[in-house]
Amino acid sequence: MEVVEPIYVLDTHALLWHLVADKKLSTRATNIFDAADRGETQLVVSVIVLAELYHLNQKRQSPLNFTEVFNDLVNSPAYQLVPFEPGHVLDFPQDAAVTELHDRIIAGLARRLDAPLISMDPVIQAADVARIEW
């Protein structure tokens, strides 16, 4: 039986692939989403992930009804939406191994929460800023 942590932080592609049922989502990540649906864990979503999700949805000609997805996330006990706070900028040097700004913010959130980050991004994985699940 797989171990399920109390919380996980989501990277943008993991959330997107879950929402559109893309086969690129790993079995482990799928199991974590399922555990959250059963109330066994909570999924933390940075506002940066929401902004990236909106942008990707627009680029892909809106396969998702973003307003509906947003409302579902806000109202679901499985998800916790968290803001990017001004003081988080001071963590940038600590998370500098993650070179892309949005990814650095997301990985930094996982590090601060001491929570695994669900991500398949090889740069984030190699940076060793946060524990990665995929």
Q: Which residues span the domain enclosing 68?
A: 7-133
SS3 46: strand
Give the model's confidence band at 1: pLDDT under 50 very low, under 70 low, under 90 confident, else very high.
Answer: low
Overall domain count for the chain: 1
Q: Specify the CATH number for the domain of residue 87.
A: 3.40.50.1010
Give the whole-angstrom CA distance, residue 115 versus residue 123: 18
* % of the chain residues with pLDDT over 90: 95
pTM reported for the whole predicted model:
0.95
In a domain, 1, yes or no: no
Over residues 65-98, the pLDDT tens digits come to: 999 999 999 999 999 999 999 999 999 999 999 9
* % of the chain residues with pLDDT over 70: 99
Exposed e or buried b per residue across 17-35, where buried means at least 16 C-beta atoms within 10 angstroms of its C-beta: bbbeeeeebeeebeebbeb
In a domain, 66, yes or no: yes
pLDDT at 107: 98
Give the whole-angstrom CA distance, residue 55 versus residue 76: 22
Q: Which residue has the higher pLDDT, 3 or 84?
A: 84
Map 59-107 to HEC letters.
HCCCCCCHHHHHHHHHHCCCEEEECCCHHHHHHCCCCCCCCCHHHHHHH
